[in-house]
Amino acid sequence: MDKRKLTATLASLAVGIALSVSNASAAVGPFEGTAGYLQGDPAPGKLIPYYLADSATATIIGIENTLGNDGPDGAEIDVPVGPTTVHIAGGDVRVHVHIFDKRSNETINFLKCYSPFDFGYIVLQKGAVTAAQNDDLDFPTGPNATRRNKSQVVVTSVAEGYVSIRAERVYATSNGTCGSENQFAISADIPDVYDLLPFDHHPLSWPLATWAIAQNISTGFFATEIPTVTARVDLGGGEVHGGIGAFGLIPAGNEVIARYDANTFNLSVSYIFAWFTENANSTDGFLDCEDELEISTPIPLPDEVNVLILSGSSTISTTSALAGALGVCTDPAVAQYRGVLRFTMPETGFIWSHITQENAHFRMNFLGYNLQNNGFIDCADGVDDFGGSADDLCGD
């Protein structure tokens, strides 16, 4: 084909493409942008990727039973019980809480019960349970239940770690007893398969919503949000994994950024939190400083729960491995105090930043960004939405 014919053919093809994409019935190809990770989605498994419980701070976790999405009158759902399907007009959910240290050693686990659209709390603290806390836990919520059915104050000597929460079983009661008042109450497990059905809108796919804060109980009286995310949480053991259903986690191998500010003029201090499904994930990355200055740096990530510090305050030290790179950016001759920490996820996990200014009088949170597609979402609906991002992630 000569050049003139080739040019004419390409021009005709271009016109055809333009006409076809303007047609409302045209086929839609794979999504070519970046699919990050979901936030604010009820699910069977939730991860609180960090807690702090020391002499100055307690962590408070809120839990809501959203099963059935029908409010406190109860859920009306069909659930599998053995080889048959039964209708449950109830919706109490038994929830398993597991508390781990920052290297994934379990310190305690316990069960709680939540009636439909019932709110409970878990407090992690170093100090003893107070009389006021006991009074609140003993408050009656019905003929057969108190707030202890759904809430607990945990006294722990482990200052840092993470928490997994898993909805395990749904009951044909709706009074926060999880069937304990009636041994014949119908109940059904919430198995792993319901981690996989977020787009089918089955009620068992979204029974839990969670929130968390680190609350100062000393002199500052501040509260800082801890993001909570959807993950795969094993029934019984509470271990946390990636995979289909882990829509709040970022897959291993994806590039991410976390915002930081280390301005010396307002004493900015940035804490970058990184949670991973495994220990020992130290890697290399970059500080991309605010005026296009990029400095390579080692990034120490020895634990499942890691806290990296980039400080513009003389009283708080920068994480030693990051100090050299930050020093180049914040040198007065350069004066680049803000930017992002960029690296490739060495393991599936989650990142976010907490920044304080003016001796921690100002506090703010920033979610980390996932710069590549989240294959855990791609696997869920059986469609290659994001152009191969689910390769090797979906399993069988």
How do strand 152-155 and strand 119-125 relate by DSSP bridges? parallel
- What is the three-state SS of 44-86? CEEEEEEEECCCCEEEEEEEEECHHHCHHHCEEEEEEECCEEE
Q: Would 14 be classed as within a structural domain? A: no
How do strand 349-357 and strand 362-367 relate by DSSP bridges? antiparallel
Residues 161, 132 share a domain = yes
Q: Would 360 be classed as within a structural domain? A: yes
State the pLDDT at residue 26.
Answer: 37
Q: Would 117 be classed as within a structural domain? A: yes
Location of structure tokens 């990050």: 36
Q: Specify the DSSP class assigned to residue 55.
A: S
Q: Would 21 be classed as within a structural domain? A: no
Residues 91, 123 share a domain = yes
Pick the more confident residue, 191 or 320. Answer: 320
Pick the more confident residue, 176 or 299. Answer: 299
For residue 324, the surrounding DSSP H or E stretch is: helix 320-330
pLDDT tens, position by position, 232-260: 999 889 999 988 788 899 999 999 999 99
Domain boundary among 241, 273, 301: 241
Residues 88, 122 share a domain = yes
Q: Would 5 be classed as within a structural domain? A: no
Q: Would 387 be classed as within a structural domain? A: no
Q: Would 3 be classed as within a structural domain? A: no
Q: Distance between CA atoms of 235 and 202, rounded to whole angstroms?
A: 19
Residues 308, 269 share a domain = yes
Give the range among 21-35, 262-276, 372-386 with minimum mean pLDDT: 21-35
State the pLDDT at residue 248.
Answer: 93
Q: Distance between CA atoms of 317 and 323, rounded to whole angstroms?
A: 9
Location of structure tokens 């920068």: 318
Q: Which domain holds residue 174?
A: 45-241
Q: Specify the DSSP class assigned to residue 193.
A: G
Neighbours of 136 (CB within 10 A): 15
Q: Distance between CA atoms of 20 and 15, rounded to whole angstroms?
A: 9
Domain boundary among 241, 263, 292: 241
State the pLDDT at residue 3.
Answer: 38
Please, which residues bridge with residue 110 across strands? 97
- Farthest CA pair distance, the chain: 90
Q: What is the arithmetic mean of pLDDT over 104-123?
A: 95
What is the pLDDT confidence band of residue 387, given thresholds at 50, 70 and 90?
A: low
Pick the more confident residue, 30 or 336. Answer: 336
Residue 209 has pLDDT above 60, yes or no: yes
Residues 219, 72 share a domain = yes
> Total domain count for the chain?
2
Residues 198, 265 share a domain = no
Domain boundary among 189, 207, 241: 241
Q: Which of 180-189, 190-199, 323-332, 366-375 has the largest mean confidence? A: 323-332
Q: What is the arithmetic mean of pLDDT over 58-78?
A: 82
pLDDT tens, position by position, 137-161: 999 998 889 999 999 999 999 999 9
Q: Would 104 be classed as within a structural domain? A: yes
